[in-house]
Amino acid sequence: MVEPETFMFLADLAKNNRKAWMDAHREERDDALRNFTGIALTLHDYADRFDFSLSDAKFNPRQSFSKFYQESRDRVGPSLYRTDVDVFANPGHPAEDVGYYLHVEPGNCHAGAGLFHPSKAALARLRTRLVDDPQGLRDIVSKPEFAEAFPDGIVTRKVLGAVPEGFSSHDPAAPYLKMVGLGCRKDLPDAILLSGDVIDVLIEIFRSASPLVRHFN
């Protein structure tokens, strides 16, 4: 599914994160982009094996994976480009809806479901859902299949120091309300993504994660 050349390109980009280098390696970049588009198409083709609502949803390949270039507001450190890519299988836009994803990064690959970079409106909807049904998420996390597939439980990219304004620190959902986006993930060795069995592995991961997607969508 992931081509060896894609891993090589990402590893080289991590060592040469400069515009001049990227400009000199546009062919390799375009090959990687085609690979990511192909992965997204494959996930959509197999969606009926883990989420029927996704298989019936409209699919936009241009929204199916994160971009290399980082806007200044999203940049961490001086690097212009991301050296990892998330390929999405979403019922809607990846910044608006909880969905499935495959994270491709040499030595740090994983798959799961969530909404990790929500828009302001999407984050508000996520928090409203948490307040309306705090027990629902706890029930999902406590199920044996979910706990086995995702031993870290619910994860996030950023935790606030306090519950956001307008919410109570005594709310049962307070630990999740502090999260700026949330989801679940299962680590994968690079070799799995290069193997012919990877789609079956991803289907099982997404099937285990599907209750989380249904809960929020």
Count of domains observed in the chain: 1
CATH number, domain with residue 35: 3.30.930
Q: Give 49-91 pLDDT, tens digit per residue.
A: 999 888 777 777 777 898 887 655 555 556 788 899 999 998 8
pLDDT tens digits for 153-212? 999 999 999 999 999 999 999 999 999 999 999 999 999 999 989 999 999 999 999 999
Range of the domain at 145: 4-216
What is the strand order of the sheet 109-115 is part of?
85-89, 99-104, 109-115, 182-188
**What is the model's pTM?**
0.91
Which stretch of DSSP H or E encloses residue 135? helix 134-142
Could you tell me which of 77, 78, 80 has the C-alpha nearest to residue 69? 80
The three-class DSSP label of residue 121 is: helix
